[in-house]
């Protein structure tokens, strides 16, 4: 079968590998679609938040089909469409699927049923490939106290995580404003149903948000992880507002007026990943019928993975690039 392999940092290839076998407590998955994530570029660059080694097959934003089940597996059968969590507890260690262990950028792979979630018929494969990032955005909103139609939510950063955070808040009924300097991202935010977008390079974004919100947002999602965004989020929030920090910024330092947390009596929470939220997020997508398709801007066959990774590194041209495996 074919598999995408990061042979070592900065070197990817699509090559033939052996078909995997499964044990009595495993299932064999045929991979269908896999999204390229920003963290895949970190892996390709030789960096990640836990120890990694090469060669490794990436791919943690995936949807696939069960083709075989082990003798001891219950609750799954061939033909079921599934998605899978990427933080996996094993007796040996905590693994990150697609990082410390081989991921879904291959035609077939073995998985344990406890990692997996069946997709309802209303959630198609395109949406299924966005489940993993959507759970992160859904968790960011929930971590910030959730929201509803009475509230205004500002999302600072319009990459994939910012856009799925916006989509989750839109699905909950909130009025949503997205702040991002990239025109493509602002256009996609509007297609998702955002009520307003702000270009932070066109004037003072704090003034723009304050004017649009009449004094600040009930909930602010920081999804960029960039210094300019992080410095502004406390100003985007209203007094007694909430801030959910999902954008990743590790090891960098910059000045920010932390006293605003006290002066405005803000509730600020950090979040990463999507622990314990997958079943709820999948039900949410099924029942709301949220259309996430604008986020998926491009797709490539697995054989052209190098072209997909090249385009995905250009934020002005692409947001979510998906690899078509089968």
What would the pLDDT profile of 155-186 be if each residue is shown by its tens digit?
Answer: 999 999 999 999 999 999 999 999 999 999 99
Q: Is the pLDDT of residue 326 over 90?
A: no
- Burial state string for 158-181 with b = 16 or more CB within 10 A and e = fewer than 16: bbbbbbbbbbbbbbbebbbbbbbb
Asked if 165 and 224 count as a contact pair (C-beta separation under 8 A), the reply is: no
Q: How far is it, in rounded angstroms, from Cα 96 to Cα 126? A: 23
* Every domain range in the chain assigned CATH 3.40.50.720: 136-270
* Amino acid 51: pLDDT: 87
**Residue 49 confidence class, pLDDT cut points 50, 70, 90:** confident
Pairwise pLDDT comparison (283 vs 254), residue with the higher score? 283
Q: How confident is the model at residue 249 (pLDDT cuts 50, 70, 90)?
A: confident
Does residue 116 have a pLDDT over 90?
A: yes
**What is the rounded average pLDDT for all residues in the chain?**
96
The answer to whether residues 158 and 182 touch, using CB atoms and an 8 Å cutoff, is yes
Strand, coil or helix: 106: strand
Domain with CATH 3.90.180.10 in the chain: 2-130+292-324
pLDDT class of 256 with cuts at 50, 70, 90: confident
Residue 8: is its pLDDT beyond 90?
yes
d(CA 57, CA 76) in angstroms, rounded, equals 25
Check whether 95 has a pLDDT greater than 80. Answer: yes
CATH topology of domain 2-130+292-324: Quinone Oxidoreductase; Chain A, domain 1 (3.90.180)
3-state secondary structure of 168: helix
The pLDDT assigned to 33 comes to 98
Q: What is the mean pLDDT of residues 111-123?
A: 96
- Select from 3.40.50.1010, 3.30.930.10, 3.40.50.720, 1.10.645.10 the CATH code of 136-270: 3.40.50.720
pLDDT at residue 11, as a whole number: 96
CB 197 within 8 A of CB 218: no
In the predicted structure, residue 91 carries a pLDDT above the cut 80: no
pLDDT of residue 250: 74
92: how many CB neighbours lie within 10 A of its CB? 6
How remote is the C-alpha of 83 from its chain's centroid? 13
Residue 131 pLDDT: 98
């Amino acid at each position: 079968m074919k598999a995408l392999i990061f042979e070592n940092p900065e070197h990817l290839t699509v090559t033939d590998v052996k078909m995997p076998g499964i044990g009595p407590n495993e299932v064999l998955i045929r991979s269908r679609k896999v999204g390229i994530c920003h963290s895949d570029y970190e892996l390709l660059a030789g960096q990640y938040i836990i120890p990694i080694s090469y060669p490794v097959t990436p791919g943690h934003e995936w949807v696939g089909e069960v083709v075989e089940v082990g003798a001891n597996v219950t609750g799954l059968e061939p033909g079921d469409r599934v998605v899978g969590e990427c933080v996996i507890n094993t007796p040996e260690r905590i693994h990150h699927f697609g990082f410390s262990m081989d991921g879904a950028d291959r035609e077939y792979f073995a998985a344990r049923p406890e990692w997996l979630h069946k997709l309802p018929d209303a959630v198609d494969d395109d949406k299924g490939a966005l489940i993993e990032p959507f759970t992160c955005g859904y968790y960011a909103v929930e971590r910030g106290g959730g929201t509803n139609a009475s509230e205004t939510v500002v999302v600072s950063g319009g990459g994939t995580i910012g856009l799925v955070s916006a989509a989750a808040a839109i699905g909950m009924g909130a009025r949503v404003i997205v702040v991002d300097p990239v025109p493509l991202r602002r256009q996609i935010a509007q297609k998702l149903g955002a009520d307003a977008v702000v270009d932070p390079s066109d004037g003072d974004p704090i003034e723009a948000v304050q004017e649009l919100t009449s004094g600040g947002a009930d909930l602010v999602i920081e999804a960029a992880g960039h210094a300019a965004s992080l410095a502004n989020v406390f100003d985007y929030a209203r007094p007694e507002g909430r801030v959910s920090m999902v954008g990743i910024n590790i090891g960098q330092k910059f000045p920010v007026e932390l006293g605003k947390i006290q002066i405005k009596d803000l509730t600020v929470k950090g979040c990463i990943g999507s622990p314990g939220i997958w079943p709820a997020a999948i039900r949410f997508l099924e029942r709301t019928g949220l259309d996430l398709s604008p986020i998926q801007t491009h797709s490539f066959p697995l054989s052209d993975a190098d072209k997909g990774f090249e385009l995905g590194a250009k934020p002005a041209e692409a947001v979510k690039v998906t690899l078509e495996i089968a």
